[in-house]
Structure 1
């Protein structure tokens, strides 16, 4: 059956994945918890999808839904990544997700043999970053004779949105230690540390970027072991940082349950739930452009060289989605189509840089409403000739 099942289909990113798949003439089965949201999604896609209400915690129902497709795009919260992988393995359906925020990704990679035994592929992290960023890294590494450094940066001009995507993920990025490869060693650094100014495309400008926990650092050091320095940094609104610090200091982000009027309550869960409801109605962001920048430095023909790939994405007014939503959803849609078309053949658990052909991926990407800039620079040694 040549269909794509999208789990978490009505979420911030899931609905845009569904929309792009439909616009690409792919048959989609959209599954999520709330029927009324699924009905809204079906209307948004001109009734071109099949909708199925689904509680992802219902293992048997999840398997039944997955059996109806050939590929699964898991756009649920990353805490469900392993559950979805196991369900996909049980019914023989390849699956990709949007990332596991480093720690969960590490756990997913341990299921390689299980996925191979099921004769399926599970791609860990196939959104913007991780995802496009990983493919860009491979493109840069393959252009050089030897790569020595990989630096990933994300910038945005969107304003007025304190939490521009999944609140749970943003909180984790702000409070958990980040990782980086420095001098060949994977090290932990404090969250939002090692700040620097990054020069993005002129539409984005110079922005302050910070180290945060991210899934690329879970796979790139293994995929490219000779690269001695790998960093990931993102742009952060100072107001968002301050608000998260206040919530954390008040204990409203703790994950251990507390007793309230005889009931066991997890403060973090209650806080996030309340914020999702209140902010969705309150915040009116001024959408801008996003830029994903990957720079790979190394040696080419004996000279120092650099490959710089930058993807600039604008908000999609006709769809009513932000640049971040579009930039994250499009790669997942592209790779789902590549899997349907037999253009990805590996089995097991793989990050994008190990299983996605960069040239093929870029050929799809260039058909989307994005701007891609690739710059190669080389510093040649001066030759001195003495008479």
Structure 2
């Protein structure tokens, strides 16, 4: 029988990119959900007969339960995940359905990981934080860690051009991430870090070159130390291109009154203004992404650093590749690990290499 994949939030930029990847690399039936079916017509037309559109509100638990029960795999892409609980994952466990999500916020990740034992007992493989960052970036780190006898330090940097090809939801996520300090694993202890602080120049591959990044609250900040216990420091930094967006974001993080940044109306205003601006600058900045992963540690008694970099011309499509490839492996039976996991815990490096090679994504490696 043909496998059925339910993509929650499938009409969004990220969700539709995931749907496109799954349609390209599998024969699965794809059901994308939306609260506004008319808006999904374009997605359905681009993907063809493999796709159905289902009108669904995540708040309607009974309709959601029925939709999940009819699927072989659920992909949760209905962000922003700051506002979500783990009810979708819970229903998947109850129904015995495998689960992926494109979540990108630590609070949601912790809620999902709390279902580890329940998913394991149900035989459900659930992988959180799939996509590009987090997602492919986590696998880049895992590959780096595996080069060492004892990995000790991880430095992850991301740079996105303009909107990255994503929608308003991603803009909301950025500003929601500025609301309060977060904990980072530094020198073997948890320390508070202010978002969008400690500007640092990082050398990315062309066309990015030397670009600036800042501390940003990502799930990797705590999943990587848990996955790799010998690591004493994990740095996660993010930046935008052109650079003036970094300065505007820094102002929002440090100059705007904190009570203002806690208001949903302010977040909505900033998200829509930012998206309008990037619609203009996308024409000359592009919508791509670059990732730089540096892992340092002990290799045969010598301290060394292993650096891997990746560039993709469209951030949303790259995210679709990250999630879509895991969906493909789950449907093909190549990936099975009951429980709830971050990508670096669930995906072997050999499968990661298969995923990116089949999608034409290239990594560059060097020892520093």
TM above 0.5, yes or no, is: yes
Aligned residue among 103, 111, 123 for 1:99: 103
Greater helix content: 2
Secondary structure (helix, strand or coil) at the match of 1:194 reads: coil
If the length of structure 2 is used for normalisation, what is the TM-score? Answer: 0.89
- Residues 170-223 of structure 1 show CA distances to partners (whole Å, capped at 9, x for unaligned) of 112222324322111122211111221111113211111100110001211111
Aligned residue among 349, 361, 369 for 2:352: 361
**Residues 156 and 134 (structure 1), Cα distance of their counterparts in 2 relative to 1, 3 Å cut:** same
Q: Which residue of 1 aligns with 2:262?
A: 254
**Conserved? CA contact 1:176–1:213, under 8 Å:** no
Work out the number of aligned pairs and report it. Answer: 356
Query: 1:372 Cα shift?
Result: 1.6
For the pair 1:293 / 2:292, whether they are aligned, the reply is yes
Aligned residue among 132, 137, 143 for 2:136: 132
Higher relative contact order (CA 8 A, sep 6+): 2
**Conserved? CA contact 1:7–1:14, under 8 Å:** yes
Q: Which residue of 1 aligns with 2:181?
A: 177
The whole-number CA distance in structure 2 between the counterparts of 1:289 and 1:160 is: 5
Q: How does 1:117-266 map to 2 (within 5 A)?
A: 117-158=121-162, 166-236=170-240, 237-241=245-249, 244-245=252-253, 248-249=256-257, 251-255=259-263
Deviates more, 1:300-309 or 1:329-338: 300-309
- Residues 233-292 of structure 1 show CA distances to partners (whole Å, capped at 9, x for unaligned) of 01142354156359953854434xxxxxxxxxxxx1x44556666766673323243211
- Residues 292-341 of structure 1 show CA distances to partners (whole Å, capped at 9, x for unaligned) of 11111112122222221111101xxxxxxxx2212222100010111111
Secondary structure (helix, strand or coil) at the match of 1:192 reads: coil
Structure 1 unaligned spans of 5+: 256-267, 315-322, 378-387
**Residues 29 and 241 (structure 1), Cα distance of their counterparts in 2 relative to 1, 3 Å cut:** same
**Residues 215 and 134 (structure 1), Cα distance of their counterparts in 2 relative to 1, 3 Å cut:** same
If the length of structure 1 is used for normalisation, what is the TM-score? Answer: 0.85
The whole-number CA distance in structure 2 between the counterparts of 1:63 and 1:2 is: 18
**Conserved? CA contact 2:56–2:64, under 8 Å:** yes
**Conserved? CA contact 2:68–2:95, under 8 Å:** yes
Q: Which residue of 1 aligns with 2:362?
A: 371
**Residues 7 and 164 (structure 1), Cα distance of their counterparts in 2 relative to 1, 3 Å cut:** closer
Structure 2 unaligned spans of 5+: none
Secondary structure (helix, strand or coil) at the match of 1:305 reads: strand
Q: Which residue of 2 aligns with 1:263?
A: none
Aligned residue among 309, 312, 315 for 1:324: 315
The whole-number CA distance in structure 2 between the counterparts of 1:47 and 1:146 is: 50
Structure with larger Rg: 1
